[in-house]
Structure 1
Amino acid sequence: MYEYIFVECFLGGIFSSATHHETIAEYAQKGWRLVQVLPTHYNGQGKPTDYEIIFERPITDQ
């Protein structure tokens, strides 16, 4: 069985950088595995601006 976490991530813009690389590396270091990236918001031209990154990891018996 797996547990899941959903993390919002900004794609970046003219004055800011995207944060997805750092987010993926941070969660991978904590034992989470990347499952999927879904766009959640779009700008006026139809380009995605925000994403939801889905991670999973096995549930360990305690």
Structure 2
Amino acid sequence: MYQYEYVSLHTGGGFWVDNSAGEHRDLIARYAAQGWRYAGFVPTRFSSYGGIKELDLVFEKEVP
């Protein structure tokens, strides 16, 4: 059985979203160090142009 953790991440949702700060990479590395595995992402909010404004990063960990 697996336990799941969802971490919200704001992207802005515009056409020119700048992810160079690497917040998503920092989050994934931090959770990996705690034994979590990155499983994917789920868009949770969209802009009126269809861009992803927010998403949930999904992490999983096996529960003994």
**Superposition TM-score, scaled by structure 1 size:** 0.76
Q: Which residue of 1 aligns with 2:32?
A: 28
Instruction: Give identity over the alignment, percent.
Output: 31
CA distance in 2, matches of 1:6, 1:57: 12
Which structure 1 residue ranges, 4+ long, deviate > 4 Å from structure 2? none
Q: Which residue of 1 aligns with 2:49?
A: 45
Structure 2 unaligned regions, length at least 5: none
Q: Spell out, residue by residue over 1:2-46, the C-alpha distance to the aligned partner (whole angstroms, 9 max, x if none).
A: 1111111122557xx562111111111111001111111111211
CA distance in 2, matches of 1:19, 1:50: 13
Q: Which residue of 2 aligns with 1:7?
A: 7
Code of the residue aligned with 1:27 in structure 2: it is Y
CA distance in 2, matches of 1:46, 1:9: 17
The number of residues matched between the two structures is: 58
Structure 1 unaligned regions, length at least 5: none
Q: Which has the higher contact order (CA 8 A, sep 6+)?
A: 2
**Superposition TM-score, scaled by structure 2 size:** 0.75
